[in-house]
């Protein structure tokens, strides 16, 4: 179908029924239709009975159109929007635990955390754990800078996103 | 509000939905529910395999348009429904499947006969529920029927933990329900309708392709009215067979792998293809980029997700087929008088004349030819008779040679291609429409997959006719081995086992073997008058092929017919 297509990253925001099984339904649809999820994050919303899923997908225009249609077909999915990266605030949070072999390394790591406007959330004799928030590229860049020191563990949330401006997606 | 236990709430809710029949098999987890059925007006039909219960519900739904209900116990009962549910899902058939489940406290502990049927059926149902409390049951049932039968229909499953069936609660059988994530779109956009009319009026070689959606939305009259006004030939997919009478001069027959020569040839020349409620399955399109190379495609479907899923469409309309076609017709009538003749119609007649004599099947005079058997069957059956098929050669011969005259009278497993579907579906259809004869056109391979439900037909007095086109082969697989694997036959020879006459008699049904067309029509007439199911075994040549044929993955133009 899509032989000459360009692969891009897309961010899809969905409002879904806030009840058990919906994440399974959504993830299952991706698997069944042979679409890939790069990341997915789920959380509460301003309305108690709605949850919000932010799904990062890589693909061409055709694939993403199919993803959106299949998502809309799921009865527990109430609203689906593709967020334009230029018109949206897109953030991911990562916790990165780095090995520090000496006091000098420690101060170097702390400087990087500062440059990335991160926060140190845990310090041990041989490690520093920092919380970094930003878009995916920023976190990737931080992780790359830490690699020479020895990254012990990383936990990333996957992206979450809102469109800029006053209008919520449910309208 | 009334005080009821979960089982009685369920029965009450099913009655509110005007359910009259349930196809099922009891088991440990559904005992409370069966106890409630003792006192209810619901008629329970005891299937002999849960797969058949699901196919019966499916056949019931396809024959009547009303959701069919099947019921199985937890664990293996529920998993046995899976093939039937998947069959209904692929062909957009509204069934409501009820499954027993272990008590709530036991769920997730791998209890005896526990299966995660909600998880298992998520990809093959339109929606599914697990009742968490008796009070929820009426609204779940109401939602289930609403979802199953509206929009693009499909199967819905309700999982019922045993203790929910037993607990007593205040229930409201008339509680209104709202499903905010479910709003089927029925009305076509007027601008799109106008664009379709423009395209059709500007086209010289328009063709229509109708699928199962045309039957589901009862659009037959609208299809014909538009086709006749514009002299637009109509081809159909397997699921669309019956939407227009096969005897209509504009009817081309089936398009696709085993499509008719005129349908597969004409589609290559069409300049506009109006697709109504079809989903561009690979069996219909062949190699997609050469499907209708000259044509702009208009696609009417009630399911947005079907638009552009397989084929690139020039003009989509997401709406109900009947409403849309009626509005297109209204526009067309205003803007042009009824076409009386066209060179396009001449082309159709030319193709017909050219190929009429082809495709008669083998000339092995030792055997009856499927084509002749099916023509004879049509002669004997009344117009309203319902025919179901199994899957394989019997199905494709039926599609090619059995003339369906009315919608909902040709019932076949199209998408999933489930062997063993036809017989239980025939039983379900007969329960829905007891006043018309129902015939399962079977193959010897398919029939053995669900033959045990001869017991259901005998014990529950559901007389149908089974015509076995018996080539003593898994015929379609044998045909592919013959054509594409240099006749290296493996695992296809059924060696005329079992003896279907004796098999029928063992169940208390009637069995007959016929060797000539006159014997065949006598046997069918006798069977139609009988109060018990009849199995008619018709030996045919093991070498018989289904032609025409477009090899898998090839373009429609690469059709072979001998």
Q: Write out pLDDT tens, residues B163-201.
A: 999 999 999 999 999 999 999 999 999 999 999 999 999
**CA–CA distance, B196 with A54 (Å, rounded to integer):** 37
B122 neighbourhood in chain A, CB within 8 Å: 24-25, 28
**Closest chain B residue by Cα to residue A31:** B123
User: Residue A75: which of B119, B181, B310 has the nearest Cβ?
Assistant: B181
**Closest chain A residue by Cα to residue B129:** A21
B179 neighbourhood in chain A, CB within 8 Å: 75
pLDDT computed for residue B343 by the predictor: 94
Q: Tell me how close the Cα of B66 comes to any Cα of chain A, in angstroms.
A: 21
Weakest mean pLDDT among A154-158, B363-367, B468-472: B363-367
Q: Is the pLDDT of residue A96 over 60?
A: yes
Average pLDDT over residues B392-398: 98
User: Residue A75: which of B123, B182, B307 has the nearest Cβ?
Assistant: B182
Q: Please name every residue paired with B439 in a beta bridge, in sequence order, or none if there are none.
A: B387, B465
**Closest chain A residue by Cα to residue B144:** A75
Residue with tokens 């339109």: B126
Sorted by where each starts, the structural domains of chain B and their CATH numbers stand as: 2-171 (3.40.50.970), 190-355 (3.40.50.1220), 370-539 (3.40.50.970)
Residue % of chain A over a pLDDT of 70: 97
CATH 3.30.70.1150 domain span(s) along chain A: 89-160
* A contact test, residue of B130, B185, B305, B318 with most A CBs within 10 A: B305
Angle between helices B321-335 and B190-202 (to 10 degrees): 60
**pLDDT category, B561, cuts 50, 70, 90?**
confident
Per residue in B425-440, pLDDT (tens digit) is 999 999 999 999 999 9
Whether the CB-CB separation of B188 and B155 falls below 8 Å is answered with no
**pLDDT category, B444, cuts 50, 70, 90?**
very high
Average pLDDT over residues A52-58: 96
Helix (H, G, I), strand (E, B) or coil at B220: helix
Element holding B99 (H helix, E strand): strand B95-101
pLDDT computed for residue A5 by the predictor: 74
Helix (H, G, I), strand (E, B) or coil at B532: coil
Element holding A99 (H helix, E strand): strand A88-99
Q: Is A62 on the interface with B (CB under 8 A)?
A: yes
**pLDDT category, A166, cuts 50, 70, 90?**
confident
pLDDT computed for residue B359 by the predictor: 54
pLDDT computed for residue B187 by the predictor: 98
The number of C-beta contacts closer than 8 angstroms across A and B is 39
Q: Is A73 on the interface with B (CB under 8 A)?
A: yes
B316 neighbourhood in chain A, CB within 8 Å: none
Number of H helices, E strands in chain B: 23, 20
**Closest chain A residue by Cα to residue B304:** A69
Q: Tell me how close the Cα of A149 comes to any Cα of chain B, in angstroms.
A: 44
User: Residue B123: which of A16, A28, A69 has the nearest Cβ?
Assistant: A28
**CA–CA distance, B378 with B97 (Å, rounded to integer):** 34
Q: Is A2 on the interface with B (CB under 8 A)?
A: no
pLDDT computed for residue B270 by the predictor: 97
Per residue in B307-360, pLDDT (tens digit) is 999 999 999 999 999 999 999 999 999 999 999 889 999 999 999 887 766 655
Q: Residue B389: which of B360, B362, B367, B409 has the closest Cα?
A: B409
> What is the overall mean pLDDT for chain A?
93
Q: Is the pLDDT of residue A4 over 60?
A: no
Per residue in B199-238, pLDDT (tens digit) is 999 999 999 999 999 999 999 999 999 999 999 999 999 9
A72 neighbourhood in chain B, CB within 8 Å: 304-305
Q: Is A126 on the interface with B (CB under 8 A)?
A: no
Structure tokens belonging to residue B556: 């429609």
Q: Tell me how close the Cα of B270 comes to any Cα of chain A, in angstroms.
A: 22
pLDDT computed for residue B360 by the predictor: 57
Q: How many CB atoms are closer than 10 A to CB B518? A: 10
Structure tokens belonging to residue B226: 């538009």
A25 neighbourhood in chain B, CB within 8 Å: 122
Q: In this complex, do B307 and A32 lie within 8 Å of one another by their Cβ atoms?
A: no
Per residue in B24-46, pLDDT (tens digit) is 999 999 999 999 999 999 999 99
Q: Is A18 on the interface with B (CB under 8 A)?
A: no
pLDDT computed for residue B353 by the predictor: 81
Q: In this complex, do B180 and A78 lie within 8 Å of one another by their Cβ atoms?
A: yes
Q: In this complex, do A77 and B312 lie within 8 Å of one another by their Cβ atoms?
A: no
Q: Is the pLDDT of residue A14 over 60?
A: yes
A107: left (phi over 0), alpha (psi -120 to 50) or beta: alpha
Q: Is the pLDDT of residue A1 over 50?
A: no
Element holding B529 (H helix, E strand): helix B517-529
Per residue in B47-82, pLDDT (tens digit) is 999 999 999 999 999 999 999 999 999 999 999 999
Considering the domain A89-160 in this protein, what is its CATH number? 3.30.70.1150
Q: In this complex, do B309 and A66 lie within 8 Å of one another by their Cβ atoms?
A: yes
Average pLDDT over residues B429-457: 98
Q: In this complex, do A75 and B309 lie within 8 Å of one another by their Cβ atoms?
A: no
Q: Residue B67: which of B423, B435, B428, B409 has the closest Cα?
A: B428
B303 neighbourhood in chain A, CB within 8 Å: 73
* B contact test, residue of A4, A20, A67, A69 with most B CBs within 10 A: A69
Average pLDDT over residues B243-265: 96
Q: Is the pLDDT of residue B268 over 90?
A: yes
Q: Is A65 on the interface with B (CB under 8 A)?
A: yes
Q: Tell me how close the Cα of A79 comes to any Cα of chain B, in angstroms.
A: 8
pLDDT computed for residue A62 by the predictor: 92
Q: Could you give the C-alpha distances from A160 to A36, A42, A87, A163, A171, in angstroms and in order?
A: 17, 8, 14, 11, 19
**CA–CA distance, B94 with B79 (Å, rounded to integer):** 19
Element holding B539 (H helix, E strand): strand B534-539
Q: Which CATH number fits domain A8-83: 3.30.70.260, 3.50.50.60, 3.30.390.10, 3.90.1150.10?
A: 3.30.70.260
Residues of B in CB contact (< 8 Å) with A are: 118-119, 122-123, 126-127, 147, 179-182, 303-305, 307-310, 312
**CA–CA distance, B97 with B152 (Å, rounded to integer):** 17
**CA–CA distance, B171 with B133 (Å, rounded to integer):** 10
Per residue in B281-314, pLDDT (tens digit) is 999 999 999 999 999 999 999 999 999 999 999 9
pLDDT computed for residue B358 by the predictor: 64
Q: Tell me how close the Cα of A38 comes to any Cα of chain B, in angstroms.
A: 21
Residue % of chain B over a pLDDT of 70: 98
Q: Is A74 on the interface with B (CB under 8 A)?
A: yes
CATH 3.30.70.260 domain span(s) along chain A: 8-83
């Amino acid at each position: 179908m899509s032989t000459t297509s360009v692969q891009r990253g897309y961010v899809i925001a969905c409002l879904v029924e806030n009840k058990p099984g919906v994440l399974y339904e959504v993830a299952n649809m991706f698997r069944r239709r042979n679409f890939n999820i790069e990341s997915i994050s789920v959380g509460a919303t301003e309305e108690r009975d709605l949850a919000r899923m932010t799904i990062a997908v890589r693909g061409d225009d055709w694939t993403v159109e199919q993803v959106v249609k299949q998502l809309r077909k799921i009865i527990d999915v109430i609203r689906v929007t593709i967020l334009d990266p230029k018109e949206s605030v897109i953030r991911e949070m990562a916790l990165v635990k780095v090995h520090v072999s000496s006091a000098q390394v420690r101060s170097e790591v702390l400087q990087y955390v500062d440059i990335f406007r991160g926060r140190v959330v845990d310090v041990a004799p041989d490690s520093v754990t920092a919380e970094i928030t930003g878009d995916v590229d920023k976190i990737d860049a931080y992780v790359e800078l830490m690699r020479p020191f020895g990254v012990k563990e990383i936990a990333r949330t996957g992206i979450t996103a809102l469109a800029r401006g006053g209008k919520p997606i449910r309208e | 509000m009334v005080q009821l236990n979960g089982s009685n709430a369920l029965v009450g809710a099913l009655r509110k939905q005007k359910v009259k029949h349930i196809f099922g098999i009891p088991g440990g987890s559904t005992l409370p529910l069966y106890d409630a059925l003792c006192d209810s007006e619901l008629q329970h039909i005891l299937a002999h395999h849960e797969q058949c219960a699901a196919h019966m519900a499916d056949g019931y739904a396809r024959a009547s348009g009303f959701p069919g209900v099947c019921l199985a116990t937890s664990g293996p009962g529920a998993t046995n429904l899976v093939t039937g549910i998947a069959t209904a899902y692929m062909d957009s058939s509204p069934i409501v499947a009820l499954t027993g489940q272990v008590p709530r406290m036991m769920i997730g502990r791998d209890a005896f006969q526990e299966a995660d049927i909600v998880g298992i059926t998520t990809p093959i149902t339109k929606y599914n529920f697990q009742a968490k409390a008796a009070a929820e049951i009426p609204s779940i049932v109401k939602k289930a029927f609403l979802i199953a039968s509206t929009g693009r229909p499909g199967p819905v499953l309700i999982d019922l933990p045993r203790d929910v069936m037993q607990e007593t609660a205040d229930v409201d059988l008339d509680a209104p329900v709202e499903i905010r994530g479910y709003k089927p779109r029925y009305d076509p956009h007027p601008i799109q309708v106008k664009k379709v009319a423009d395209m059709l009026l500007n086209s010289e070689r328009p063709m229509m392709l109708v699928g199962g959606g045309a039957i589901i939305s009862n659009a037959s009259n609208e299809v014909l009215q538009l086709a006749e006004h514009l002299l637009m030939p109509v081809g159909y997919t397997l699921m669309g067979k019956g939407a227009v009478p096969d005897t209509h001069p504009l009817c081309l027959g089936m398009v696709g792998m085993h499509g008719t020569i005129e349908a597969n040839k004409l589609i290559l020349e069409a300049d506009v293809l109006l697709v109504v409620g079809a989903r561009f399955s690979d069996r219909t399109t062949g190699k997609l980029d050469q499907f209708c190379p000259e044509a702009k495609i208009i696609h009417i479907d009630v399911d947005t997700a079907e638009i552009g899923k397989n084929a690139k469409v020039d003009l989509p309309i997401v709406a109900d087929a009947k409403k849309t076609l009626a509005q297109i017709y209204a526009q067309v009538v205003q803007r042009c008088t009824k076409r009386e003749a066209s060179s396009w119609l001449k082309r159709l007649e030319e193709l017909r004349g050219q190929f009429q004599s082809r495709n008669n099947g083998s000339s092995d005079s030792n055997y009856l030819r499927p084509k002749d058997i099916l023509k004879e069957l049509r002669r004997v059956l009344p117009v309203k008779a319902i025919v179901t098929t199994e899957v394989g050669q019997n199905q494709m011969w039926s599609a090619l040679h059995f003339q369906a005259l009315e919608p909902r009278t040709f019932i076949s497993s199209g998408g999933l291609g489930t062997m063993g579907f036809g017989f239980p579906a025939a039983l379900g259809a007969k329960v829905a429409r007891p006043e018309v004869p129902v015939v399962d056109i079977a193959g010897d391979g398919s029939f053995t997959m669900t033959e045990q439900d001869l017991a259901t037909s005998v014990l529950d007095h559901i007389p149908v006719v089974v015509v076995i086109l018996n080539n003593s082969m898994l015929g379609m697989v044998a045909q592919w081995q013959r054509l594409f694997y240099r006749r290296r036959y493996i695992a296809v020879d059924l060696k005329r086992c079992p003896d279907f006459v004796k098999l029928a008699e063992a169940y208390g049904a009637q069995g007959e073997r016929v060797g000539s067309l006159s014997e065949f029509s006598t046997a069918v007439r006798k069977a139609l008058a009988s109060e018990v199911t009849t199995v008619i075994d018709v030996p045919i040549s093991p070498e018989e092929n289904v032609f025409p044929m477009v090899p898998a993955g090839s373009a429609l133009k690469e059709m072979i017919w001998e």
